[in-house]
Chains A and B, each alone.
Chain A
Amino acid sequence: MEYNGAKILVETLIEQGTEVVFGYPGGQVLNIYDELYLNADRIRHVLSAHEQGAAHAADGYARATGKTGVVIATSGPGATNLVTGIANAFLDSVPMVAITGNVSCNLIGRDSFQEVDIVGITMPVTKHNFIVKDVRDLADTVREAFRIAKSGRPGPVLVDIPKDVQVNTAEYIKKPPVQPDAKKAPDAAQIERAVQMIAAAKRPYIYFGGGVITCDAGDEIMALSQKIDAPVGCSMMGLSAIPNDFASFLGMVGMHGHYCATRAKAEADLIIAVGVRFSDRATGDKSKYAKDAKIIHIDIDNAEIDKNIPSTLGINCDAKIALQMMLEQLNPLKHDEWQQEVRRLKQYEHDNAAKCLGKLTPYRIIDCVGALTQADTPIVTDVGQHQMWVAQHYPFKTARSFISSCGLGTMGFGMGAAIGASIATGKRAVLFTGDGSFGMNLNELATAVSQKVPLVILILNNGVLGMVRQWQTMFYNKHYSNTTLDRKTDFPALAKAFGAVGLSADDETSLKEALKQAFATDGTVLIDCKIDDDERVLPMIPPGGAIDDLILK
């Protein structure tokens, strides 16, 4: 059929399995929005309050399901408002297709109204991007965008569509959804060598990251841990891939990781690193990192192997296939002495846990929430202290239930992401945020209310920018430069003004009462939780430090 570009775009999105798009209309996407209007029964559009919120929503949607998130924005400011959301998805390898309108081809390059070179701007933060200048290329370009977003290591892809391309017509023939590139299998000889290295190890340690969630290999990680009797730790991106109550799981490693998880990794003689990129927040001082350990590094992105930490054996392939092959070849192993040492570290961690301050403590808030959530409730965070407390303490049970901005560390990520995650799963989501992070994109409360999103928002309100303040306390002589907010925001009243329910809690009794109401309410509920402004995230490895610099309390 001969369709105009806008209709071709919408038909191609539907053809590729898109059920929901997040976005915000504008001058250069009017034709696309006209088609969305006409096809409202076939594809749902979620209107955000700001394009950044829409991008984070598409991101949260993708993280919660593994499906590709789609976001639409107009040219110029609409497009630039997406940039943080796109960069956020890029750093955390989230599959996303971002569609932007642009001025007509004959106006490009003339600094026209609302014109920016969004392809140029997003080049460093996308897997790939396109500008479509001929409507005949549109459908295949969009299909290619979906293929790239999902293939190998996922990521965001942007397609910029000038207005005249949306208006011009071309032949459209429906095609099946594109398949991502075939999963790369490992080299058999490398697997054999890995098996030998594992068999020879005395203190093996499994360290995994977000790649394990992407390739759905949580079961294989647990099977490997059981078979070779090895403790397991993960990066923040890896959280939720295996249940927290898995016996050998020690938790997150790194700057604010669990003492035992980080320490045991430092004592290991073999680290089996799976789908993880050795980020500086996870490794600390690289020159002192795992000095005595051999490293097997399995990753789908060849460029990650030896990028941050040199490996003894790098295997560039799909992690699930590699783990399955290793499991077939490995004989069961026992490491009693090593496990005993790990238990000793665990006990030490337990005995030396930092004491919390104030009437209402972060960990207790998380406990109270955890008592009311289900195994697959999407747990979303913003960025800062609250994020670390949740990462350390929340009892994750189901893969993809933890949704957080790990690589880019985007304050303001949470509201959009929580809306996207709730819409994607059809479940009530929980957002842990801080008064600082929440302040960045609280306009999305409007979206949550208008879309009737079941969402419980917990603001861990300490009146300060807690994480920065913590650094100022520890490394900047308590010079609290611009981190004491001194705002008079009445968050429950604010929630009410947006049409949500607003509650507050300053002790455990009032929190439990508020949570009870929140989880019984159909819609968006905000709970303002007052916590102490000197509460710190511990343990902590100071920036640039190593395991021996770890501060426990």
Chain B
Amino acid sequence: MAKKFVIGMLVSNHFGVLTRVSAMFSRRGFNIDSLTVGVTELPEYSRMTVTMTGDNYARDQIIKQLQKIEDVKEIKELKHAQSVMRELIILKVAATSENRKDILETANVFKAKIIDFSPDSICIEITGECSKLDAFIELMKPYGIIEMCRTGTVAMDRGITSLKDEI
């Protein structure tokens, strides 16, 4: 049965590592929902978060195949209950004098930030778990979403542990 999985990775901070990882997904026919990458507090490592939908076979294979990539230093499935997961969206929505108040109110309920305010549009920044963001997007659709970008999920375990402990 297809489920959503989140995988956290520490990888070498080299050029080409992102290609190695993403090429493996396409080569082996795995579909991923999102992939994020950024440097960490240790300049030699980058951290990646991959979210994917698949069955247990796909999850196990993806982890094992990622482990085989020389530049992948540590890898772990991050379980929902034991992790914090966040994603950020910037969303530009069409606004008129009639509906502007409603939009602002909705944004307020979702603890979203207004980062640009123009006569015909509002630009909103919102952070949270995927499901919350999806709900917010649904609510914005009727007003007319002009454009939006999502960062993809970043995630880490709760508590004192760290992926780099394992290296």
Chain A interface residues (CB < 8 Å from chain B): 119-120, 123-124, 127-128, 148, 301-303, 305-307
Contacts and interface: CB of A to CB of B under 8 A. Distances in A.
Interface stretch (B56-64, B104-112, B137-145): B56-64
Contact of A124 (B23, B61, B68): B23
12 contacts: A119-B16, A123-B19, A127-B68, A128-B69, A148-B70, A302-B64, A302-B67, A303-B64, A303-B65, A303-B68, A305-B64, A307-B64
Contact of A120 (B19, B64, B65, B71): B19
B3 interface: no
Contact of A128 (B60, B67, B70): B70
Contacts of B65: 303
B44 to A, nearest CB: 14
B4 interface: no
Contacts of A306: 57, 60-61
A128 B60 CA distance: 22
What are the 8 A-B residue pairs with the smallest beta carbon separation, nearest first? Answer: A303-B64, A128-B70, A302-B64, A124-B27, A303-B65, A303-B68, A123-B23, A123-B20
Nearest to A131: B16
Interface in B2-45: 16, 19-20, 23, 27
B63 to A, nearest CB: 9
A150 B6 CA distance: 32
A306 B70 CA distance: 21
Given A301-B68, A303-B68, A306-B60, 17 more contacts: A119-B16, A120-B19, A123-B20, A123-B23, A124-B23, A127-B68, A127-B70, A128-B69, A128-B70, A302-B64, A302-B67, A303-B61, A303-B64, A305-B64, A306-B57, A307-B61, A307-B64
Contacts, number: 27
Contacts of A123: 19-20, 23
Nearest to B14: A130
B124 to A, nearest CB: 39
A305 B60 CA distance: 10
Contacts of B60: 306
A154 to B, nearest CB: 13
Given A123-B19, A123-B20, A303 B67 contact: yes
Interface string B116-149: 0000000000000000000000000000000000
- Most chain B CB within a 10 A radius of its CB, from A128, A148, A303, A307: A303
B73 to A, nearest CB: 13
Contacts of B19: 120, 123
A469 B70 CA distance: 42
B54 to A, nearest CB: 14
Contacts of B68: 127, 301, 303
A269 B61 CA distance: 26
Contacts of A303: 61, 64-65, 67-68
A305 B20 CA distance: 22
B57 to A, nearest CB: 7
Contacts of B64: 302-303, 305, 307
Contacts of B16: 119
Contacts of B57: 306
Contacts of B69: 128
A7 B109 CA distance: 67
B58 to A, nearest CB: 11
A303 B66 CA distance: 9
B22 to A, nearest CB: 11
A313 to B, nearest CB: 15
Nearest to B16: A119
A12 B44 CA distance: 26
Contacts of A307: 61, 64
A397 to B, nearest CB: 34
Contacts of A119: 16
Contacts of A124: 23, 27
